[in-house]
Structure 1
Amino acid sequence: RKSNAVLLEWLRSPIVYTQDEAFTDHLNELAPQYVQAAALLHHYRGIAGNALKAMDLTQPIKLKKWFYVLRPLLAARWAVKQGGIPPMTLVELMNEWQTDCATQITDLVALKAEQNESYLHTLSPELQKLTVDLYNEVSALSATAAEPADSGPLNELFRSTLATIYP
């Protein structure tokens, strides 16, 4: 009901270990009416800001850590500018975002897939600038907290789930 970004990501994750399909399908159907851009902006901007504070973009950095900055910034931007639940993949998030660095980013996604977790990479000056500019853009964004939708459908899902588990 409060637009929990982590829950929304779990619902949309391409990686599923186990799930109750009826429950997740129903929750996925309900989720869009509860999405609040302000909550998502706050969540993703915080993740990106904390990750960015922990790195010096001019030095070699773990490529995976840089993506921990880029993806949340794009998700925050999406939540405000596009509305709704941001897509999970970087490719989808980049679809509506115009940047001259798109090819560099796509190449780094492929490179990251080939490297181990400890791989260090030095970002190009263009990507360093892009990261700072995107962070500044997202930092300037705002979204008004909307009145949450009626809790009735979520309460009904909760009750029906309990009735299924505890007949």
Structure 2
Amino acid sequence: MTGHQRQILDELRHIEEKHGVKILYACESGSRAWGFPSQNSDYDVRFLYVHPVAWYLSIEEKRDVIECPIHDMLDINGWELRKALKLFKKSNPPLLEWLYSPIQYHEAYTVAERLRQLAQKAFSPRAAIYHYLHMAKGNFRGYLTGERVKIKKYFYVLRPVLGCLWIQKHQTMPPLVFEQLVEELIPEGSRLRADIDALLVRKKAGDELDVGARVESIHAFLEEQIAHLEKLAGEMPVAEGVSTAQLDELFRSALDEVWSATGQFGAK
């Protein structure tokens, strides 16, 4: 276990004590999970948590996120389980990414695995493609339209575009690891593949990849694929769907699993 991993686990325990919650699952969600962190990249830790049962027995709507100030390269935020389940029912791509993150810091209960078992049923190719396409277009317009561009932002357009192409091909959530997407979807030996691989080597080596001349092969690929995906998105299938009853049962059993085990079921 690295020093940062120990620090993350200590922070998660502190959050539990400070907020009186139990953390069900915690993972990495940013560039470290995607496989291309810079030397100064934050640790983007995301987690799911539950309050004791009595917290839910109130007529008041309460805050359903925990957000910690960024410090020591740690960016830690979490969603309360009921919020997460509502988003899961809508096939929320960030939540699905968390569940399949290749870097998992903490998984103490069965909730995350039960959600993974329901994920393909909940997954909506149409909703996911719209999500990733919106991300790609925003970064493309914001950083890549001039003759000189912010080079590292190519990754923040390539990843969602390749995610869309994965969904088109497989009808499943795309993997988080960027190199898996490249290996599957960009032909080896092509100019495009060579240019992407070269940028990836530079980013992993710690190059700033600041403003520079645009990479024509990548630029042309992104323009072509964004136009293609704009036409495709509305034709993609929607989710089979998970019922509210199924997620209600999962929620109630999660509360029972967490708080019965600690002897605090129903505690404030």
Q: TM-score, with normalisation over the residues of structure 2?
A: 0.56
Q: Is 1:60 the counterpart of 2:149 in the alignment?
A: yes
Task: Provide the rounded CA distance (Å) in 2 between the counterparts of 1:26 and 1:50.
Answer: 33
SS state at 2:107 partner: coil
The verdict on how the C-alpha distance between 1:68 and 1:162 changes in structure 2, with shifts beyond 3 A counting, is same
Q: Which structure would you say has the larger Rg?
A: 2
Give the one of 20, 23, 28 matched to 2:111. Answer: 23
* Cα offset, 1:110, TM superposition: 1.5
Task: Provide the rounded CA distance (Å) in 2 between the counterparts of 1:16 and 1:121.
Answer: 35
* Cα offset, 1:115, TM superposition: 2.3
**Percent identity of equivalent pairs:** 28
Q: How does 1:32-47 map to 2 (within 5 A)?
A: 32-47=120-135
Give the one of 147, 153, 165 matched to 2:246. Answer: 153
Aligned partner letter, 2:184: E
* Cα offset, 1:72, TM superposition: 0.6
Aligned partner letter, 1:112: K
Q: How does 1:8-157 map to 2 (within 5 A)?
A: 8-55=96-143, 56=145, 58-63=147-152, 65-99=153-187, 100=190, 101-117=192-208, 119-142=210-233, 143-157=236-250
Aligned partner letter, 1:126: S
The verdict on how the C-alpha distance between 1:31 and 1:57 changes in structure 2, with shifts beyond 3 A counting, is farther
Task: Provide the rounded CA distance (Å) in 1 between the counterparts of 2:185 and 2:146.
Answer: 21
* Cα offset, 1:117, TM superposition: 4.8
Aligned partner letter, 1:144: P
Aligned partner letter, 1:103: A
Task: Provide the rounded CA distance (Å) in 1 between the counterparts of 2:253 and 2:146.
Answer: 50
2:93–2:128 CA contact under 8 A, matched in 1: yes
After superposition, the CA RMSD in angstroms is 2.1
The verdict on how the C-alpha distance between 1:128 and 1:26 changes in structure 2, with shifts beyond 3 A counting, is same
Bigger RCO of structures 1 and 2 (CA < 8 A, at least 6 apart): 1
Structure 2: where are the runs of 5+ without partners?
A: 1-88, 260-264
Q: TM-score, with normalisation over the residues of structure 1?
A: 0.86
Task: Provide the rounded CA distance (Å) in 1 between the counterparts of 2:159 and 2:201.
Answer: 15
Structure 1: where are the runs of 5+ without partners?
A: none
My pick for the range that moved more, 37-46 or 139-148, is 139-148
The verdict on how the C-alpha distance between 1:40 and 1:163 changes in structure 2, with shifts beyond 3 A counting, is same
SS state at 1:88 partner: coil
Please list every run of at least 4 consecutive aligned residues from structure 1 whose deviation after the TM superposition is greater than 6 angstroms: none
